[in-house]
Amino acid sequence: MVNLQKKITLSIIDYKGSKHIGLAFEKDETILNLLRQKFPLLRWSQSFKTWHLPYVSSLREQIFQLMQGIAWVDYSLLKNDNIVEKALKPKQIPDKKEIILEPLTNDKQVQVNNFERYLKSKRYSDNTIKTYLDALKIFLRYFHTKTIDAIVNDDIITFNNDYILANKFSSSYQNQFVNAIKLFFGKIQDRQINPELIHRPKKERKLPNVLSKEEIKAILEAHHNIKHKTMLSLIYSCGLRRSELLNLKPLDIDSKRNVVIIRQSKGKKDRITPLSPKILDLLRLYYKEYKPTQYLFEGQEAGTMYSEQSLQKVLKMALVKVKISKPVTIHWLRHSYATHLLENGTDLRYIQELLGHNSSRTTEIYTHVSTKNLQQIKSPFDDL
């Protein structure tokens, strides 16, 4: 019997010019795991605040069958499908190749489990383990008619063309597959995939998104809630990643030395960053009101970590209040921190340490968005 307490609402969304089906439901690990297993292309959209899948005509029925006895599927919003279709110009709808991925066979699942044990023994981060396992499962499911021993280099080229490129996935997503496949065949199968025949995408050079100091000031002053204000301010003032902020403990704030200790961040490295006196005053006001125990910023229940989704909502609310329409994410605050440091004359080597970058080349990208030297260049237009 269908559990009427659980509900999935289907809708049509225009995701980056492509027609997708949105799946809205209350947080439920059982439902989410079932959907992920059945639909490897399932993704979360921060803009629409919903899970979504590329549109195919049979998708509604597939979801309905999958959720039988688990949740009620409300597809009433799909009845106006033709309205959305008209709103999307034909050229905006990419011609995607619909591919049905069969479940993993038992022998392949055993090899995936072996790969997971290897990654854990090498102490890869939880995020990396999940990314590599998801990529490997999709790859092996794509070649469901072949045994692992029969997979060769040409199959990887086929996969890149017929799955990655056909579905217009990003180059970074393609790289995740390349990394996972190489590691799996090299360490678990004990046979090398020829690196020359694995087509890595040409690395894109994208400039980091940076906000002006005026925009940052407006965002940080938008909230009256001391907790929301402190979280956003600490991210910008210390150049923190989202996960770094959420994993902070009260003892990581060293008020005697005026530093924040960031433990086991990306690459399993510790680092320290200066603590602004203004932020310290803000933290004291926050601590006095909320009295956190386990984490510096906790969820609704004491001792639980504040969620990533809630943190992004805090930023979105600030953007609405100050009427900034740019698609700002938490990471923009970190990019802005680094760029503003550079424009203030801070040496790149120090910025590299503060951000926790392994390579100086990663930090040098901020020289391309700093306007300090550009503003000294006089346009020939001014002489006309």
pLDDT value at residue 94: 39
Cα–Cα distance, 81 to 106 (Å, whole number): 39
Q: What is the DSSP letter of 193?
A: -
In a domain, 82, yes or no: yes
- Picking from 168, 197, 226, the residue at the C-terminal end of a domain is 197
Using an 8 Å Cβ cutoff, are 315 and 233 in contact? no
Helix or strand or coil: residue 73?
strand
Q: Based on the fold, state whether residues 229 and 359 are members of the same structural domain.
A: yes
Give yes or no: residues 133 and 157 share one domain.
Answer: yes
Considering the domain architecture, whether residues 305 and 241 belong to the same structural domain is answered as yes
Residues 224 and 356 in one domain: yes
Asked if residue 377 is part of any domain, the answer here is no
Shared domain check, 112 and 87: no
Taking alpha carbons only, the member of 325, 291, 318, 321 closest to residue 236 is: 318
Amino acid letter, residue 34: L
Does residue 206 fall inside a structural domain? no
Q: Is residue 278 part of a domain?
A: yes
* Own/partner long-range contacts of 130-136 (Cβ < 8 Å, ≥24 apart): 131/176, 131/180, 132/176, 132/179, 132/180, 132/183, 132/184, 133/180, 134/40, 135/176, 135/177, 135/179, 135/180, 135/181, 136/112, 136/180, 136/181, 136/184
| CA 263 – CA 271 distance, rounded (Å) | 7
The three-class DSSP label of residue 200 is: coil
Any domain includes 180: yes
Judge if 244 and 355 occupy the same domain: yes
The CATH code of the domain that includes 296 is 1.10.443.10
- Last residue of some domain: 92, 126, 160? 92
Same domain, residue pair 217 and 363: yes
Last residue of a domain, one of 68, 92, 116: 92
| Beta carbons of 276 and 282 less than 8 angstroms apart | no
For residue 300, CA distances in Å to 52, 211, 295, 368 come to 27, 31, 12, 41
pLDDT of amino acid 167: 81
CATH number for position 130:
1.10.150.130
pLDDT of 100 reads: 63
Q: Does residue 125 sit in the same domain as residue 179? A: yes
Structural domain includes residue 384 = no
- Tell me if 2 is assigned to some domain: no
Environment class of residue 310 by beta-carbon count within 10 Å: exposed (0-12), middle (13-18) or buried (19+)?
middle
Alpha carbon distance 86, 80 (integer Å):
11
Q: Are residues 75 and 129 in the same domain?
A: no
Q: Which domain holds residue 353?
A: 213-368
pLDDT at 195: 47
Residue partners of 72: CB distance under 8 A and separation at least 6: 2, 3, 4, 6, 7, 8
One digit per residue, pLDDT tens: the chain, 384 residues? Answer: 444 568 888 888 877 767 888 899 888 888 888 888 888 888 888 878 889 998 887 788 888 888 877 888 887 777 544 433 333 333 333 344 556 677 888 888 998 999 999 999 988 888 889 889 988 999 998 888 888 888 888 888 888 888 888 887 777 788 888 888 888 888 777 665 564 555 566 666 677 888 999 999 999 999 999 999 999 999 999 999 998 999 999 999 999 999 999 988 777 788 989 999 999 999 999 999 999 999 999 988 888 899 888 898 899 999 999 999 888 989 999 999 988 988 888 888 888 888 888 777 778 778 777 766 666 666 676 666
Per-residue pLDDT, 251: 93
At residue 373, the pLDDT reads 63
- Do 81 and 14 fall within a single domain? yes
Judgement on whether residues 256 and 306 belong to the same structural domain of the protein: yes
Q: Which of the 8 DSSP states describes residue 53?
A: E
Task: Return the pLDDT at 227.
Answer: 94
Q: What is the pLDDT of residue 381?
A: 63
pLDDT of residue 87: 34
What end-to-end distance do the CA atoms of the chain give, in Å?
78
In 3D, which of 6, 11, 55 has the Cα closest to residue 34? 6
User: How far is it, in rounded angstroms, from Cα 249 to Cα 294?
Assistant: 6
Residues catalogued as catalytic: 241, 266, 331, 334, 357, 366
Is residue 257 assigned to a domain?
A: yes
136 Cβ contact partners less than 8 Å away, ≥ 6 residues apart: 112, 115, 180, 181, 184
Q: What's the token pair of residue 207?
A: 């400039």
pTM for the whole structure: 0.58
pLDDT value at position 282?
94
Residue 281: Cβ within 10 Å count: 10
Assess whether 183 and 234 both reside in one domain. Answer: no
What's the number of domains the chain is made of?
3
